[in-house]
Every structure is written in structure tokens, then in C-alpha cells.
Structure 1
Amino acid sequence: MFSEVVVVGQVARDLVIEVPDAPAACSSAPVRHHQELLGGQGANQAVALRQLGTSVSLVGVVGQDSTGDALCALARADRIGTTHVVRRPGTETALIVDVVDEHGRRRYLEHIPDDTLVTETDVVAASAPISAAGSLIVQLRQPAPAALLAARLAHRAGTRVVLDGAPQDPALLALADVVRADAGGAELLTGEPVEDVAAAARAAADLRRRGPSLVVLEVSGRGNLFAGPEGTWFLPDVETEVVDPTGAGDALVATLTAALTRRRPLETAACLAVAAAAATTEHAGGRPRLSRPALDRLQPRQLEAVHA
């Protein structure tokens, strides 16, 4: 049975360490709390989709090691399809370490071996679920040839193509239905910092002329601009107690995709997406904890219309 959404992205062992104070050297900190989780951008998005009731399959790579065994078991426990999570012989499973202190300061370290990145061969093996899905999410930290092939397969089949990152290849941008870039990605796309809503609106309008019907850009430190065929809106970041920003973007992309896949209006999808991002910052680690009450509590009640 195929899934509503397929995610092509990173799968990693996520060590979340909470300490009283985040030191320059992580090894010297007394540990208050420690978790080992299924993590990585791809897995975080897949978890969020399942928490929202959307069926999802994951295309990623782990090692043929005990850590890979554990991560695949955790994904199956989350009811994520793992048929196309590749077990790469001789590869060490990717590792993320997120150290967070009680003041909201953090150190983020990662070890992502090249062999844990998705290849074109891996994408070809997953062509059937990609073509049958309602939406495909592709993280652009994966190699460009694999990302381009996945987008082509989805586009050819009429599957919505959601790009998470800053597409540098015009061919990839032309295949996209949705592009979401954080502040750093938005700067890569525009060549300059996107520091205000007007700049984001201009950049989004330019990007939409090059392919995607919906562009979502983070305005640094302020919120997100959503520009689509139904209109352009700016949603400020939701005010909440931020413990750790890790995974907020993953939750935003996953929730937006889930809503669009279920044919929700853009205004609704945007409000749910920023609420999910806010909810994910309220705890340490990038694994989302999404629920209807959390989204209702944090959902903005109005959108700021923007005239591009």
C-alpha cells in the first residue's frame, strides 16, 4: 500500500543532551537529561506527518549496523514506511548531537558520512511510491542528482513536489510546486539577506515566475512569508517559550505538506505550519510533538496580507 507523502531525506541517530549550562566543550557539562531519538531532517518530517495522521514513507540511508537497526525499528514504531530506507554495508549511520541548556543556549554537532546520502539508485528503487504519492518532500541537503531525479519522477506522475531548501539548479526549481527556504536559504536564492517582508515578497514573486506555485521564505528573526496563487501573506513567529529551535523548519514543512495534500486552503495550511514550528521549539530536540490541541493553542488567528 502506497503512502500519501514520501520524504527523501536524512535519517540519523539524534542525541539530545540537556545540561545546566552549554559549555564550549560538551564533554565537561553535567548532564541533566539525555535522549537517543530517531532524527535527521527526513525522519523528523516523517514523524510529524504521522502525528498529523498522514501516511508517509521515508527514502533515506542508514548503516548496516546496530544503530541502523534501532532507527528502523523506531521508524516502524512511529508507523513510518521504511521499505526504502537503504541499509548501506560498510557505512556508519549518521549522528546528530544537540546540547541544550536551561537558558536556551545550544551546541549542535553532526557527523553525516557521505555514504548516508541518497543516491540516484536509491531514488530509482523508490520510484513506485514516489509516483503514487500525493506529495513528495525532498531535502536539498541530499546530492543534487538524486534530488533532481526524485523531482522528475514525481512531476511526471503528477505528484506535488515540495523542495525543502534553496534550489540552485533552474531545472529543479522548474519542477517544484512548493519551495520553502529558511533565512540562510532565502539569502542563497536572492543573493542578499531577506531582512524584511517587502524583500521576501519580491523574492517570492521572482521565484514563482520560475516554476513553483507556492514559495515560503523565512524573514530572518521575524516569521515566514507565504506566496501562492491564492495570495501572499506574512505570518510572524508565534510567541512562545523557546527551549530549542531544532526541527522547527522540519515541522513547518511537514505540516504545510500534510495540509496541502489534504487540499486545505493556503491560509489554513500556513497557520497550521507556523503553529507546528512553534510547538517544536517548546522542547529540546528536533523530534516533533504535534497534536491538535497544540496546534489550536499556537495557531495565529489572522494573517497579514502582503501586496507584492
Structure 2
Amino acid sequence: MKHLFDQARRHAVNLTQTVWSPTAATLRRWALAAVVANAGITVTGAAVRVSKSGLGCPTWPRCTPDSLLPTAHGQISPVNMAVEFGNRLLTFLVLAIGLACLVAAMRLLPRRRDLVRLAWLQPAGVAAQGLWGGLVVRSVLNPVTVSVHFLISIGLIAACFALYARSNEGDAAPQRLVHRDIRTLGHVLIAAVAVLLVAGVVVTGTGPHSGDEMASRFPFDIESVARIHADVVYVVVGLTFALLFALHVSDAPRHARRAALTLLAVEMAQGVIGYVQYFLAVPAFLVGLHVLGATLVWIGALRVVYALRSRGPADSPATRSGRLDSIPA
């Protein structure tokens, strides 16, 4: 037992050192943990909805009108209450990782203001997300508030991925690794994926999984919004294929081609899930899996865009001199 305690203490000390005495590599690992944590809580949020646990804790910030913690409630299943409260607890894990990223970015030497600004977005975003979650509950899962709740998570993932990518490179002015038109195509792709996510939340807000019987739905025809969503999917897949082809024929860097190929594979898998869930009348499990796929498509698209340019290595002269006047990528 003492051996296990000593080992746990050593791990805790090492973990603390990665925050208080960080390197670019340890900051990058914390940023990656933030990407995973924010993606994870996005998926568990979908699990809350499809399990009909959206109002498992019917009040906010308390779980019940009389308690911060789950307590017996005659009209709410203990399972639903546990699912909703468990998702709320995950917020504190995401916040802790975000704060670790912030402290590590502020302690990194030489300090880079671009990394500090990106790191600040995480605790600020988690706080905003928590407050918006309260609005979701108080609005009785209004589809508008639920949709924005998901889109805030998507924005947080983008901020986390930006920190992850930027912590592995210098602070020099961005240099294109591909032809200008190919990089423009990458930006068009990321915009198309953003539109796809918005279309997806409209379909979700119109579909059957509202999170609770009391929740309202968008007043749209599900067939129509699903068809629009599918059309945007075709655009995204077409753009991804065009980008992959352009990268191949232009002999672009291998990591950029690999990122685009991975994105295309994720999109294909996501498309299969989408069609299967549609023809099976939208089963709850596949809805959760589809949300996971949407999150991975977003991360994959971000990875592609960052692979199309470079700011030099993390130990470049610009970084060592603390130059902070580079233009944004």
C-alpha cells in the first residue's frame, strides 16, 4: 500500500511540474487533453439528451430545488438524475484541464502572448458554457438553447485545437506550405463543415430525441431539414476530395495529405452512420455515435487547415526573441 501511495505521489508531483514548469511539449499534451475532454463532454451531452435525461436535474445551479446533489424526486427517475448530474460533474474536469493549460501557457518561457490568449479561451469558454447550460435547463430544453449549447462546445474545441497546434510551432509569420488556391480551398472546407454542424443541430432539434417529454421542437418538416443536411454533406465530401486531389497532384507535404485522407475517411464513416440511423428511424445509440462522428469531422477539418501552413519550429529565432508581431494565420 505504501508503494502505491508513493507512486501516486510521484505521479502527482510530475503532473504538477508539467503545469508549473512547462515545456512546449508538455503544454501541447495539456492542450491535447483539453481537445479530448471537450470532445468527450460534447458526446456525453448528447447521451444526456438521447437517454431522456435532459431534465434529470430540473433546476440550475442546484440539481433539485432543495439540493445541489441528486436527491429522491417523485417525478424523476434516479437513473436520469444520475446521468444529468454526472454530465454536470464532467464540467469541472474540463475546467481543471483548461486552467492547467492557462497556467502552463503563462509559465512557459519565453512567454508567448498568442498561447496565453488561446489558453484564456478555455476557462472563459467553460464558464460561459456552464451558464448557458443553466439557460438550457431553465428554458426546458428549448431547441434553440440546446443547439447553441452544442455550438459553444464546437467553438471550445476549435480554441483547444488552436492551442494544441500553435504550441508545437514558433511565432514567425505564417508561411504557406501549399499553393495559395489550395489553402483557400482549405478555408472554404472549414466554413462548409461549420455550416454542416449548424444544419445538423437543426435536424437534431427537429427530430425525436428532445431530452425530455416536456421539451419543444423546431417547427420544421424533418424530411426537408434532413435533405438539406444531406446536401451540405455532399458539398463537404466533395470539397474534401478536391482538396485531397489537389494536395496529391501538387506534391504537398505528407502530413497535409495524410490529414486530408483521414478527414475523408471519417466523413465516409459518418455518412454511413447518418444513413443507417435515418433508415432505422433514428435509434438513440446511433444518434450519440453520430454526434461523436460530427465532433471528429470538425477536429479533422481543423487539423487539415493547420497542416497547410507553418510558423516555423517552436525553437525558432522568432520564438526565442519573443517576437509578438506576426500576422494571424
TM-score (norm 2): 0.28
Question: Which structure is richer in relative contact order (CA contacts within 8 A, separation 6 or more)?
Answer: 2
Q: Which has the larger radius of gyration?
A: 2
TM-score (norm 1): 0.29
Between structures 1 and 2, the one with greater helix share: 2
